[in-house]
Structure formats: C-alpha cells, structure tokens
Structure 1
Amino acid sequence: MTDPAPGSRADAVIARLMELHPKGYDLTLDRVRRLLADLGNPQNRLPPTIHVAGTNGKGSVVAFCRAILEAAGRTVHVHTSPHLVNWHERYRIGGTGEDGRGALVSDAVLAEAVERAAAANGGQPITVFEILTAVTFLLFSEHPADVALVEVGLGGRFDATNVIERPAITAITSISLDHQSYLGDRVELIAAEKAGIVKRGVPLVVGPQGEAAALEVFKTTAARQRAPLFVYGEDVFAFAENGRLVYQDEDGLLDLPLPRLPGRHQIGNAATAIATLRRGGFDPSPQAIEAGLLSAEWPGRLQRLTSGPLVAAAAPGSEIWLDGGHNPGAGAVIAEALASMEDRVQRPLFLISGMLSTKDPVGFFEAFSGIARRVFTVPIASSDAGLDPDELADAAIDAGLEAEPCFSVEEAIRLVSTGWSVEPAPRFLICGSLYLVGDVLKASGLAPR
C-alpha cells in the first residue's frame, strides 16, 4: 500500500461528504446499522476482533497490541480515530506493508470504499463518521488478516464501532472527564457509556483507573453481562524495577523491557495490552511481547521532534515534544512524564498550546503548575472550533501559570530561543489538541506512515 498524495482522490471524496452531511456526532446506532445492512453486514465477517474504549490511553493500548501481534507473525488490521494528518491513518490493513506487516490503506482502495459506502447510503441522513466506520468494516472484511483492532471513536454504547456483536475481547482504558456534552458530566456517567462495548460472555480487561466510581461501573456491567473480568491492580499488575517492566497475572511473572513509548503511564497501558492479548486467546510468546514493547509507535503522543523548521528555530540543544492530550486526565500524565524525564539538570519547560472550545483548559493546565515556566497560546489553523489564544492564555493564568498569546508555534519557539545562551537548553511541549499536533507534523513533513 502507498502513502496518500496531496490532493488525493480519497480526500476529495471525503470532503464532498463533509459538505453533504453534518459535522460532529449524533450518537445512535440506527443509521450505521441501516447502512451496514445495505452493504451486506461486513462487520459480521471480521477476523477475531479486539474492541478498545477509554478516555485516555486507548490508542497506546492498540499500538502495543498491534506491535506484539505483528512481532508474533500475525497480520493485523487497525482502526483508530481521529487521524492527525491524513484520513488514511484511520485504516491500517494487515499484511500489505513491504515487510509483510500492516500499512496504511492506499488512496485508491480507500476512495473506492468510501464511494461505495456513500452510494449505498443514497443521501439518507447520516454522519460522516458513521460512513467512515462502515468503510472500516468493508476494508477489514475484504482483506484477509488474523486479527482486527478497533478503537472506539467517542464513548462506546452508541459509538458507530459498537455494531461488533461478538468481539474476541473488549478493553477499557483510563476514564476521565471529556466530551461531557455527549457523555455526561460525571465520571460514572462517562464510564457507563464506555461500558456499552461490553458484550455478554466476552472477556473484559480494565486498565488503570484513577476513579473508584468508574471501576465500580465496569465491575457491575461485567457481572450483569457475565463477562469474565480482569482488572489492572487486582488481577493484572505491572511496575518498573531496575530499568525493567515486571508484569504479573494469573499465569505468572514476565520480566520485560520498559516500553519504547515514553512516560510512566505507558507501563499501565502496556500491561493492559498484554492482558488483553493473553485473556483474549491470542497467547503471544514472551519474546513477541518483548519485541512489541520495544517497537510500538504511536505518533503525536509524547513524540519528540528531531527535524524540521521548528527544530531549526529553537535554541541549540533544545527539545521539542508533541502530545495531543487535551483533557485534565491527559494533562496529569503528560506533566508527570515530563517532570520525571531524567536530566542531570532539569530543563526549563515551556508549553505551546492550542485547544478546542469544547475542552477544559483550566483543568488541563493545572497539572503543569510548578512545572512549566510559561505558556504560549496559539490558534489552530486546521479547525474553526479553536479557542482564541487570548482566551486560552487567560485560562492558563487562572490555572496559576504565566501565559501570553502568540500568532504561531514557530513564533513562540523563537520568542524563547532568541538570545538563549544559558544551560540547559529549554524543553518545549506543543500540546492541547490533536489538530494542533497534526498541523505541526504536517508542517514538519512527518505525517504518520
């Protein structure tokens, strides 16, 4: 499969759909079920499927699962959302890469599938996300693979992916407040929506939870659905020791390398992935697990920039990191990861942030109080729903940080870097929105592959 080219046919087809159908979400399964029925119900012809929901960490769990399965020689389809730069990122087709592993769907194949789904819909009311989810099932049912990994888009109960009637296993990662207008304004309400993916008799793995109320919802749901339950911290354990990851479940201990993905929170995500594969019947060997932990990639999540115009604009020796986390829970784990980065002398941290108007900027920024020296707020070029930088700067100030608005990410980096001559060089974190991270990756020539 080949990378999409600028002005791709698939992009043009999806742009037309965006003009025809409403943006955003309208949570129900009726429309997508109708469309899938007209397409011959491809969701019923998938390989064994792992269905993953959660507020934070679900993409990392999917990335670990994919890397471990591919290290074991399995071919793996992967659906994730949203994308960072290209729509094609949402669809990784197993066995189509040069090395026999997965690759992003080709432009021609994606365009044809989208056109077929749109034609089957026939102009009836539907959201673009529902059409693109139907495309997932078309692609995954028509290309052979050993396993399908399907990440929930929003919530769970009424997410368009939740038409999978009998997954091999479900997994739910950390829950925190996000998308409250759709999912509810209390953690237990959000957890109930995520728990909607739990199926009768199908095993459920629950990753690390900071809220007891969320965990109680999952336990109650699993009991009601008679779903075998495996909970991180009760049935599954993992911790770092002497530079290694120690994992334990009912089958015993594994001595593993620390995950390639940075941040202590990735220990819990890696453990959730391992438990999901072991309890889902995929039985990866310790060697495959080790190889997967060392090879997993998840762009835009604590990703370090090492080339491009922003690196050139920064003071020599600077670090530039990207993370698309955008809710208070994500802010807490990102701040902890940055604070724990091992430097002989801690680098001064500067945040460069853009956020959508639907988020909680004060809650996000509070995690960086006492850690970040200053926040520079910027517009998000790829979204018309971004907060005004002046308003976002006020939110950072309300969270106890010094802040000022800027015209762009590059301007913020130059403001800090011009004349910088002290040691150590600064560390920048570009954060607050996947749209912003996608813009930076695109400008840096680093679109996910």
Structure 2
Amino acid sequence: MDTENVVEKFKEFERFGSRLGLERMNVLMELLGNPQKNLQCIHVAGTNGKGSVCKYIYEALQENGYKVGLFTSPFLEVFNERIEFDRQLISDEDLKICTDRVLEKVEVMLSNGFDSPTEFEVITAVAFVYFNRKKADFVVLEVGLGGRGDSTNIIERPLACVIASISFDHMDRLGNTLEEIAAEKAGIIKEGVPVIINVERPEAAKVIARKAYEKNCVLYDVKKIKYAITEKSIEGYKMDTTIYGTDYAEVEIGMVGKHQLQNVLTALVTLELLRKDRIIQVERSRLYAGIKKAKQNGRFEVMNRDPYVIIDGAHNEDGAAALEKTAEELLPGKRMLFVTGMLGDKDTQKILDHFAQMADDFVLTEPDNPRRYPAMKLTKDLQERGKNCITIEDPIEACRYALKHKTEYEAIMFAGSLYLIGQVRGLLKSENK
C-alpha cells in the first residue's frame, strides 16, 4: 500500500467531520496501549506562528543530538510532511505499519459501539504510535485546531505549554471573540506545567493568564523580552537578546518577517526554561546552528531571485498583515505581480485589504478544494479596490501565466490558501531544476 492509499483511508474518516472533544481519542489511545504516555512532549498552540515555533524548537534539539519527533499540519506537497522524526519524513512503510495498527483498533472501537474517531484523531494516533516505536527523546507537538478539544490534548503532562499567538480564525469552531478563542487555546494548559505565551492582544492574554493561575502554572510572557535586530535581509535576520539572565547574542534566523523574531523568541524562551530545569542539555553553538537551519516551507519562502518569486501561506487576517509588513520591509517599492486564491470560510475582505497594499496587478485563481472562494468573486473584490486583474481558475495555469510574465516585474508573490501554495510550490521546484 503506497502513501496515496493510506491517505485515501484517512479520507474515509472525513465524513465524521472535525468534532472537537477527547472522548473518542481517549478510547482509541487506551486500545493502543496509550503510547503517548511514554513521550516527553512540548505542546504548541496558537493562531499563527505555531508551526515556525515548533520548527525552531525541533531543529535546536535535533542539532544537540536528541532524537526528536515533529507533528504538524497541514502538509504542502506530501502527506508524510506531517510526521517527522530525526529530520526524516515518516517513510511510506512506517506510515502503513502504524496506520494499520491504528485502524485495527478503530475497528474494535466501532464493534464495541463507540463513535468513530475523526480523520485528524486517526492521524494524531498514528503519529503517537510512530514516535513511540522510534523511542523519541522528545516530541514537538503542534495543535491542530484550538487546543482544549484538539486530539493532541490527550497528553496529560507536557514539558511545556506554548501559545504562540491569538487572532481571529476558525471562528465557526472556536468562538467569535478573542476571549473565546483564547479560552479554547488555553485548554492545553496542564496543572503545574510552565506556560509560555506570545500574545499581543491584552484581552486574550488575560484569559490565558487566568487559566495558568487556576492551574498553578508559572507564566512566561515573551512580549516582555527585549531584543535588537543587528542585521536584516531577504535571507534572514541577526538579533541580540537576553532571556532570563542568559545572553543570546548574534542569533541568526533564516526565516524572514518581524513576526519570525517573535516566533524565535518564543522558541528560545521554551528551550531556556527546559535547560534551566535540566530537562535538556544544549551547547550554545549547536543551539544557534539548529535555529539557523529552521525553515518553514511556504512561509515567505524565496523560490527564485531576479526577479524574486516568493510563496507565502497567508490565509487569515493576521497572516496577511504579517506578509504586508514583511514585503514593505524587504521589498520596498518593487513592482509586484500578486497571485492569490483562497478558501471561502476565511475573512476574505480583510485579507484582501492587506494584499491590495502590496501590488496593483493580480492574477486570481482557486485552490483545489471544495471550500474554494470563486476566482471571479476575488476579481470583482479587487477591481473594486482599483486593481488590474486577470482571472485564471486553474492554479497551475495561473502559476504558468505569472512565470511567463516574470520579466515585467521585480517580484512575483503567490499567497493565500495553503492548498494553493502546496500546488504552486511543486511546480516552481520543477521549474527551478
């Protein structure tokens, strides 16, 4: 059975929707022998930035000789990207073995009259089974949706609970106010476990602080940590900072955008606390090397230079705002062609407000997803903002059109749905070979 067949098996669970709550997960993990109880996890939630925070922590630990698992979502090109261990994506063979084991227990669940787990619950269980088989020293675990009822929240005592940011996204599931969304994310906080937050909006930060207090946790607020940028370019940044008495001078990161400085600070605070608690031992030079190696595909990723061809999965308002700021900082005044396609359940107009600040010329397309927002509507929305628009519904054709016209521009930006970015990335990689 190849990966495609395994993914098809996961898709059979799509019909059960995305239901938050841990009842099904508890039953499934019990049947599997609770492999998650053998794992030391760092649990990371947040609206934006959580994937980058996970990557920084993962690479820093890897570089220091630890065997580390990384569970993230979604994937851009191949499903195996979601489960990584020791800098290798899960192999097709291991994916099949672990999936078969989980599906066998799902059959037992169903025959005993329990509700079926959801697709994400099954995939999370596969990751736990795999990391346990590999005897991971640590697992960096990214929350799928929210926190409280997310399947990753089955872990009872993580080493640290990290909340990278709070903003509006998935309001249909998590609530319509920042306080409600924050309460869902704060659901990962466990009794006495250190809580690291990097939350800008005070009303959201208060909700998390209250939850940390109730659970007798020490709260570490990354926003209070000062830093200085010493170098910046489209290749990345260097910065100096001090974290709880430890100097971190000339930290170099290869991900760009000022929001990445916040993400790396969040990761460094987490690592510093684990070091001070003697849970990890790290060599400074190796920690720096790991941080520098961390890359997040599809996050202001430069695929080509002269002209710049950049892809960015800015698929909600805060992501679009961060992209606008980064483009303003690193591509000031450059003539840009902007290619975008989105899903219909996002706050499209607010995202477009940011995109419209970056370019006058747009190609509007559609991600390969049933929830796609029609390209013709995007065209109308941007024409109302005074933009020049071309509509090409097929994303691959839209990408080819943009590349054909690249000599007319100094930069081409592909941004929007991660489904779109995944498709485009594959094509751009093959063009660059």
TM-score (structure 2 length as normaliser): 0.90
Q: What code does the residue aligned with 2:44 have?
A: V
The equivalent position to 1:251 in structure 2, one of 245, 248, 252, is 245
Match for residue 9 of structure 1?
2
The count of corresponding residues between Structure 1 and Structure 2 is 415
Q: Does 1:277 align with 2:268?
A: no
Match for residue 214 of structure 2?
224
Secondary structure of 1:280's counterpart equals: helix
Match for residue 367 of structure 1?
354
- Rounded to whole Å, the distance in 1 between the matches of 2:97 and 2:31 is 16
The equivalent position to 1:264 in structure 2, one of 248, 258, 269, is 258
Contact conserved, 2:45 with 2:142, CA < 8 A, in 1? Answer: yes
- Rounded to whole Å, the distance in 2 between the matches of 1:111 and 1:332 is 40
Q: Does 1:70 align with 2:62?
A: yes
Contact conserved, 2:13 with 2:117, CA < 8 A, in 1? Answer: no
Q: Deviations over 1:12-52 (max 9, x none)?
A: 03313423552641111101111111111111111x21000
1:56-205 matches, cutoff 5 A: 56-94=48-86, 102-122=87-107, 123=110, 124-205=115-196
Contact conserved, 1:183 with 1:190, CA < 8 A, in 2? Answer: yes
- Rounded to whole Å, the distance in 2 between the matches of 1:56 and 1:11 is 29
Contact conserved, 1:14 with 1:114, CA < 8 A, in 2? Answer: no
Secondary structure of 1:22's counterpart equals: helix
Return closer, same or farther for 1:413/1:43 CA change in 2, 3 Å cut-off.
closer
Contact conserved, 1:277 with 1:283, CA < 8 A, in 2? Answer: no
Q: Deviations over 1:225-264 (max 9, x none)?
A: 1111110122x33331355311222123211233111112
Match for residue 302 of structure 2?
304
Secondary structure of 2:349's counterpart equals: helix
- Rounded to whole Å, the distance in 1 between the matches of 2:399 and 2:80 is 30
Q: Which runs of 5+ in 1 are unaligned?
A: 1-7, 95-101, 307-315
Contact conserved, 1:68 with 1:292, CA < 8 A, in 2? Answer: yes
Contact conserved, 1:54 with 1:173, CA < 8 A, in 2? Answer: yes
Contact conserved, 1:355 with 1:433, CA < 8 A, in 2? Answer: yes
Secondary structure of 1:325's counterpart equals: coil
Q: Does 1:240 align with 2:229?
A: yes
Match for residue 288 of structure 1?
286
Secondary structure of 2:12's counterpart equals: helix
Q: What code does the residue aligned with 1:432 have?
A: G
Q: What code does the residue aligned with 1:118 have?
A: L
Q: Deviations over 1:318-355 (max 9, x none)?
A: 22111112000000101111111156xx3212221111
Secondary structure of 1:118's counterpart equals: helix
Match for residue 322 of structure 2?
333
Q: Does 1:376 align with 2:367?
A: no
Contact conserved, 2:395 with 2:420, CA < 8 A, in 1? Answer: no
Q: What code does the residue aligned with 2:51 have?
A: G
- Rounded to whole Å, the distance in 2 between the matches of 1:358 and 1:401 is 23
Secondary structure of 1:407's counterpart equals: coil
Contact conserved, 2:147 with 2:184, CA < 8 A, in 1? Answer: yes
Q: Which runs of 5+ in 2 are unaligned?
A: 233-237
Return closer, same or farther for 1:35/1:399 CA change in 2, 3 Å cut-off.
farther
The equivalent position to 1:25 in structure 2, one of 12, 18, 28, is 18
- Rounded to whole Å, the distance in 1 between the matches of 2:266 and 2:314 is 19
Q: What code does the residue aligned with 2:365 have?
A: V
Contact conserved, 2:307 with 2:406, CA < 8 A, in 1? Answer: no
Return closer, same or farther for 1:331/1:401 CA change in 2, 3 Å cut-off.
farther
Return closer, same or farther for 1:364/1:399 CA change in 2, 3 Å cut-off.
farther
- Rounded to whole Å, the distance in 2 between the matches of 1:171 and 1:20 is 29
Secondary structure of 1:301's counterpart equals: coil
Match for residue 374 of structure 2?
388
- Rounded to whole Å, the distance in 1 between the matches of 2:13 and 2:55 is 33
Return closer, same or farther for 1:172/1:86 CA change in 2, 3 Å cut-off.
same
Return closer, same or farther for 1:387/1:202 CA change in 2, 3 Å cut-off.
same
| 1:203 Cα deviation after fit | 0.4
- Rounded to whole Å, the distance in 1 between the matches of 2:385 and 2:157 is 45
- Rounded to whole Å, the distance in 2 between the matches of 1:295 and 1:20 is 36
Q: What code does the residue aligned with 1:375 have?
A: F
Q: Deviations over 1:87-115 (max 9, x none)?
A: 21111123xxxxxxx21111011111111
- Rounded to whole Å, the distance in 2 between the matches of 1:196 and 1:420 is 46
Q: Does 1:212 align with 2:202?
A: yes
- Rounded to whole Å, the distance in 2 between the matches of 1:12 and 1:415 is 33
Q: Deviations over 1:393-419 (max 9, x none)?
A: 233345665544223445546656667
- Rounded to whole Å, the distance in 1 between the matches of 2:421 and 2:406 is 25
Return closer, same or farther for 1:334/1:23 CA change in 2, 3 Å cut-off.
farther
Return closer, same or farther for 1:104/1:125 CA change in 2, 3 Å cut-off.
same
| 1:295 Cα deviation after fit | 0.9
Identical-pair percentage: 30
Return closer, same or farther for 1:374/1:292 CA change in 2, 3 Å cut-off.
same
Secondary structure of 2:242's counterpart equals: strand
Match for residue 356 of structure 1?
343
Match for residue 235 of structure 2?
none
Contact conserved, 1:63 with 1:296, CA < 8 A, in 2? Answer: yes
Return closer, same or farther for 1:412/1:231 CA change in 2, 3 Å cut-off.
same
| 1:287 Cα deviation after fit | 1.4
Secondary structure of 1:117's counterpart equals: helix
Secondary structure of 1:125's counterpart equals: coil
- Rounded to whole Å, the distance in 2 between the matches of 1:372 and 1:61 is 29
Higher helix share: 2
